[in-house]
Structure 1
Amino acid sequence: MELLPEDNLKSNLLLLLLLHLFVGSFAGDCPKPEVGENMVLSEAALLKNDFPEGSKVLLECARGYEKASGSGTIDCVDNKWTEPDLNCKKLDCGQPKPEPHMSFNTSGGTVFGSRIKVICEEGYWILGTSFKHCYATGWFGKATCKIFTCPKPAEVKNGKNSWIADTVPEYGQVINFTCNEGYVLSGSKNITCGKTKYDSPPPQCIGATTEDNIKTSIITSATATTQQERTTASPSATTVIARIFTSISTPQQGDKFITFEKKAPRTSEPSSTTTSLKGI
Structure 2
Amino acid sequence: PLAVRPCPMPPEVANGKHNGQDQAVFTTGMFVRYTCNPGYYLVGNAAVSCRASGNWSQPRPRCEEVTCPRPPRIANGLHSGQSSDRFSRGLTVSYSCKEGFELLGNASITCTDSGVWSRTLPRCEGVW
- Superposed CA deviations along residues 68-94 of structure 1, whole A, max 9, x for unmatched, are xxxxxxxxxxxxxxxxxxxxxxx2x23
The unaligned stretches of length 5 or more in structure 2 are: none
Matched, 1:163 2:81: yes
- Superposed CA deviations along residues 205-242 of structure 1, whole A, max 9, x for unmatched, are 11234xxxxxxxxxxxxxxxxxxxxxxxxxxxxxxxxx
Letter in 2 for 1:64: V
Question: CA 1:63/1:167 → structure 2, altered by over 3 Å: closer, same or farther?
Answer: farther
Letter in 1 for 2:38: E
Letter in 2 for 1:101: N
Kindly, what percent of the aligned residue pairs are identical? 25
Matched, 1:64 2:4: yes
The unaligned stretches of length 5 or more in structure 1 are: 1-39, 41-61, 66-90, 210-280
Question: CA 1:63/1:188 → structure 2, altered by over 3 Å: closer, same or farther?
Answer: farther
Q: Which of the two has greater strand per residue?
A: 1
Distance in 2 of aligned mates of 1:140 and 1:165:
42
Distance in 2 of aligned mates of 1:168 and 1:64:
47
Q: Which of the two has greater helix per residue?
A: 1
Distance in 2 of aligned mates of 1:151 and 1:196:
8
Letter in 1 for 2:12: P
The answer to whether the Cα contact below 8 Å between 1:108 and 1:116 also exists between their aligned partners in 2 is no
Query: CA offset at residue 108 of structure 1?
Result: 6.6
- Superposed CA deviations along residues 10-51 of structure 1, whole A, max 9, x for unmatched, are xxxxxxxxxxxxxxxxxxxxxxxxxxxxxx3xxxxxxxxxxx
Query: CA offset at residue 115 of structure 1?
Result: 1.4
Distance in 2 of aligned mates of 1:107 and 1:97:
11
Output the TM-score relative to the length of structure 1. 0.40
Distance in 1 of aligned mates of 2:115 and 2:108:
17
Matched, 1:187 2:102: no
Q: Could you say what secondary structure the match of 1:100 adopts?
A: coil
Larger Rg: 1
Instruction: Calculate the aligned-residue CA RMSD, in Å.
Output: 2.1
Q: Could you say what secondary structure the match of 1:178 adopts?
A: strand
State how many pairs are aligned: 123
Letter in 1 for 2:11: K
Distance in 2 of aligned mates of 1:166 and 1:205:
22
- Superposed CA deviations along residues 174-200 of structure 1, whole A, max 9, x for unmatched, are 111112233221121111123232122
Distance in 1 of aligned mates of 2:11 and 2:21:
16
Query: CA offset at residue 164 of structure 1?
Result: 3.0
Distance in 1 of aligned mates of 2:36 and 2:81:
27
Where do 1:1-280 residues align within 5 Å? 40=1, 62-65=2-5, 91=6, 93-106=7-20, 109=23, 110-112=25-27, 113-137=29-53, 138-141=55-58, 142-194=60-112, 195-209=114-128
Distance in 2 of aligned mates of 1:104 and 1:116:
6
Q: Could you say what secondary structure the match of 2:50 adopts?
A: strand
